[in-house]
A and B are shown apart, each in its own frame.
Chain A
Amino acid sequence: MGKIWAIARNTIAQAMRMKIAAAVIVLLLILLPMMSMIMIGDGTLLGKLQTFSSYGLSLVGLLLSILTIAVSTFTLSDELKRQQIFLVVTKPVRRWQIIMGKFLGVVVLDIILLIFFSGVIYGLTVSVPRLLEVADDEKAIADDQFFTAREGIKVALDIQAAAERARERFKKLKEEKGRDWPPLKMAEKTGIEERMTEIEVLSIFVQEEMVREQSVEPGRGRVWDFKDIRPWSEPNTMVFVRFKLDSSVAPPDGVIYGLWSVGNLPAYQRGDGSLTTPIYNVERNSPTRTSQEFFVPADAVTQDNFLGVGFVNNPNLNPSSVTIQELEVLYKVGTFGGNFVRAALLMLVRLVFLAALGIALTTWLSFPVAVLVCLVIFSAGLVNGFIVDSIDGLGAGIGQAYMFTVKPLLMLLPRFDDNYNPAGYVVSGRIIRWLFLLKAAGETIGIKSLLLLVLGMLVFRRREVAKSSV
């Protein structure tokens, strides 16, 4: 361990002399405080906090990722190039200890920088409401929606049922048309055009059914059930309903008028006296296509952790059917500070992977090539979901061959997007569960990074560190 640590310390000393390290540190030290002052968001305190934390965390994440890639690909390749490695490998140090030492050095450097810069962001975020003169209700909103750690439960779309309905419709259509297939005169009713293949028609039906699943016709109402809602048992706890509205015909003022009911709605409908919790009605005028939130007291949640959310499409105010997207019920389950630490740890998971990647690659590749490969993999990680989905779609036709060749490789791609993006959690005040964090760490560090490091060690063990020269 002493030897590994000696190499780690030397790696840190080496990294701190790199110009990119100084550039990243100086840049962040200037940009972060500036951003906290300049960024306004939508003008509210919440908007300002969300904008700053989003950009701040993303910037720190991006710059530290780039720094990690630069340092991890530089440290070993430079020692090989300058032949300083001669004096290390000829000492009683095993080759794997050199790799581990380099890895540890980069990770320790990352931890130090991450603690420092996430500390700066945290400090700035917390002090923004104190420094600004804002109304108390704005502060309350910020406390409820930003300085918190909320669990969110989304409506699960019943895709199976939608697909089933689409198939029914398709069958019916085919029977109706009979000999007229392919349908030539359907354009007036749906998006179906001439000369569409059966699969294309079917997929349009599926999409339509999916939209229908989320939409509410004028004059109708709809109730969604949420189970297993366990808000913090503290006074004045709120439950938040988050949604995004859209309508088939754009409303003239861009606003959709909705009437929401929250509570044990099934018991209310039954009217058999089993209703013990209050029902809250909220009238809400929401602009289309942006995420909106309202809240009701948490006592609307029943003893067995159930909550119903209903929406009525008022035909007098809305001319057309309304689609309710991304409907979600949120409730506080943790503190902002704790969540922020977990967000930083999630970011560290990413950096650790990049450190392992860079070092493993340079046991085999030269510095410029390794940097390029790292950047490609890093970018791929940022859009992992998209890549996996698109290649999955293409490869599905190949079947077995695909399953055993490309698919396992895709699994090795790191995931930095969606759920693995720490900024997203902080911005929307959502909790990062320890379990999720451990799972992410286990996958990314325990499996992917370890695999890379072991591969690197194997290559480095066999490798001639001296160049051929006569």
Chain B
Amino acid sequence: MSTDMTENQFAIETVALTKIFPDWWGRQRVIAVDNLNLQIRTGEIYGFLGPNGSGKTTTIKMMLNLLHPTRGGATVLGGDSADAAISSRIGYLPEESYLYRYLTAYETLDFYGRLFGLPGSVRKERIETLLDMVGLSGAGNRQVGTFSKGMARRIGLAQALINDPDLLILDEPTSGMDPMGTRQIKDLLVELGKRGKTILLCSHLLAEVEDICDRIGIMYGGKMQVEGSVKNLLELTGKTQIQTSHLNENSLVKIQTLLRQENCEFEITHPMDRLETLFVRTVNKAQQEQQATSGVQAGSGISGFLAEREIVRQPGILDKLVAGQAETQIDKIRGDTETVAVTPQKAEPQQDAELLRKLATAKTDPIAETLKPQQAKSVEAVKIDILSRLVGKDKNADGSTTPTDSKAAGE
């Protein structure tokens, strides 16, 4: 898969990018970024990770001409980000929101819209949809200085989207946000990724990155330590996980017997719901009951104008998935499932496949279509959740893929 990808233009490319900060005397230098060669493909969601002070923000600032590299250079969208033609296609959210406290939310977005040279009518329309999207349509006339950090973050994100950018550079977009907001941003980013936007995401929320990023890189000491696709980096190929709906005692015994015959180590547990899911469910319920709040309201999905431009991505994996399998699988994946973690001992891949086949046939009755509590969540959100998982797996589809648990459960 890599040949046609490399021919693609990189959205961001750094060559031997180095930043050295001198101390006050010009001596005892600190190397913030050390010979970094970063390549972010067009249309990719890239998770840029690393502990504090590892050089992530410095790298971003060099990409955007806020700092000058000591050595090396960065190309953004095929050019220099100081070039107006390039910077008009970039959306940037810095590590803090840095807004003008005295401007209202509306004025803030209007100001940045003007800087992009957007005509008045377009600005007005986009500001309204963006405020709605980030859940601040009721606070448009409030001064940004009175906003909580999370609300300011939402405005920051809205300003990054006002030009319908091709490239989004987000430095910890969810810092200070409540879990609902985090979830909304996550959904939004996945949706933006689907529309062909390239996203460089800096975050310390690893779960967030894991869920939405195609590829990640981990920085330490100004150097890239590990880089690769999420699937490649995280999959435990030595283990197999099978999820089913609730099994009765009899079936469990059968499976255990079968697994013992195969000489496998295994444990049988019930999977845990994620705290995020519970939180989102609770707040959604409260919002549906229209309980009063002075904070943010539910955002209404993605802004319409962001769909204006569609970038044709070479792989097109997501689109295919969305069109094809996703629809049929949505309802099947979640439910009362049990997890069977199997560790094969000296087992060959063929044996694994055989075992799975046996398991699949042994359970004649497929998954019950019971109404699940998660369905209180918006269908869109569920879709995105699934999508991100699917993407991780399919992007790695170079032939040697082991059949995955979700597919097995689904079929």
Chain A residues with CB under 8 Å of chain B are 2-3, 5-7, 9-10, 13-14, 17, 82-84, 86-94, 464-466, 468-470
Quick one: which of B30, B87, B96, B111 contacts A92, CB cutoff 8 A?
B87
A303 to B68, CA, bound (A): 73
Q: Hey, which chain A residues are within 8 Å of B61, CB to CB? A: 466
Quick one: which of A2, A83, A87, A93 contacts B159, CB cutoff 8 A?
A87
Jot down 6 A-B pairs with beta carbons below 8 A, ordered by A. A2-B117, A3-B114, A92-B84, A92-B117, A94-B84, A465-B66
A-B CB proximity, top 8 nearest:
A6-B114, A92-B84, A466-B66, A91-B115, A92-B88, A468-B21, A470-B32, A92-B87
With contacts A2-B114, A6-B115, A10-B111 known, is A90 near B100, CB below 8 A?
A: no
A470 to B59, CA, bound (A): 11
* Most chain B CB atoms below 10 A, which of A83, A94, A465, A466: A466
Q: Hey, which chain A residues are within 8 Å of B66, CB to CB? A: 86, 89-90, 464-466
With contacts A14-B100, A88-B115 known, is A466 near B21, CB below 8 A?
A: no
B25 interface residue, CB < 8 Å from A?
no
Task: Known A-B contacts: A3-B117, A469-B21. Give 7 more (CB < 8 A).
Answer: A84-B100, A87-B99, A91-B116, A93-B115, A466-B67, A468-B21, A468-B32
Residue contact B112 to A87, C-beta cutoff 8 Å? yes
B65 interface residue, CB < 8 Å from A?
yes
B42 interface residue, CB < 8 Å from A?
no
With contacts A3-B117, A10-B103, A470-B30 known, is A90 near B92, CB below 8 A?
A: yes
Residue contact A470 to B58, C-beta cutoff 8 Å? yes
Residue contact A87 to B103, C-beta cutoff 8 Å? no
A121 to B154, CA, bound (A): 48
A interface footprint on B105-116 (CB within 8 Å = 1, 0 otherwise): 001000110111
B81 interface residue, CB < 8 Å from A?
yes
Q: Hey, which chain A residues are within 8 Å of B107, CB to CB? A: 13
* Most chain B CB atoms below 10 A, which of A84, A93, A470: A470
Chain B residues with CB under 8 Å of chain A are 21, 30, 32, 53, 55, 57-58, 61, 64-68, 81, 84-85, 87-88, 90, 92, 94, 96, 98-100, 102-103, 107, 111-112, 114-117, 159
The smallest C-beta distance from A466 to any residue of chain B, in angstroms, reads: 4
- CB nearest to A465 among chain B residues: B66
A468 to B19, CA, bound (A): 10
Residue contact A90 to B87, C-beta cutoff 8 Å? yes
Residue contact B92 to A470, C-beta cutoff 8 Å? no
Q: Hey, which chain A residues are within 8 Å of B96, CB to CB? A: 83
A469 to B67, CA, bound (A): 11
Residue contact B81 to A90, C-beta cutoff 8 Å? yes
The smallest C-beta distance from A2 to any residue of chain B, in angstroms, reads: 6
Q: Hey, which chain A residues are within 8 Å of B81, CB to CB? A: 90
Q: Hey, which chain B residues are within 8 Å of A87, CB to CB? A: 92, 94, 98-99, 112, 159
The smallest C-beta distance from B285 to any residue of chain A, in angstroms, reads: 36
Q: Hey, which chain A residues are within 8 Å of B112, CB to CB? A: 87, 91
- CB nearest to A94 among chain B residues: B84
Quick one: which of A5, A7, A89 contacts B65, CB cutoff 8 A?
A89
With contacts A87-B159, A90-B64, A90-B66 known, is A13 near B98, CB below 8 A?
A: no
- CB nearest to B120 among chain A residues: A2
A5 to B117, CA, bound (A): 11
Residue contact B94 to A86, C-beta cutoff 8 Å? yes
Q: Hey, which chain B residues are within 8 Å of A89, CB to CB? A: 64-66
Residue contact A470 to B94, C-beta cutoff 8 Å? no
The smallest C-beta distance from A412 to any residue of chain B, in angstroms, reads: 30
The smallest C-beta distance from B172 to any residue of chain A, in angstroms, reads: 14
Q: Hey, which chain A residues are within 8 Å of B99, CB to CB? A: 84, 87
* Most chain B CB atoms below 10 A, which of A9, A87, A88: A87
The smallest C-beta distance from A463 to any residue of chain B, in angstroms, reads: 9
A64 to B101, CA, bound (A): 25
Q: Hey, which chain B residues are within 8 Å of A82, CB to CB? A: 98
* Most chain A CB atoms below 10 A, which of B61, B68, B88, B90: B61
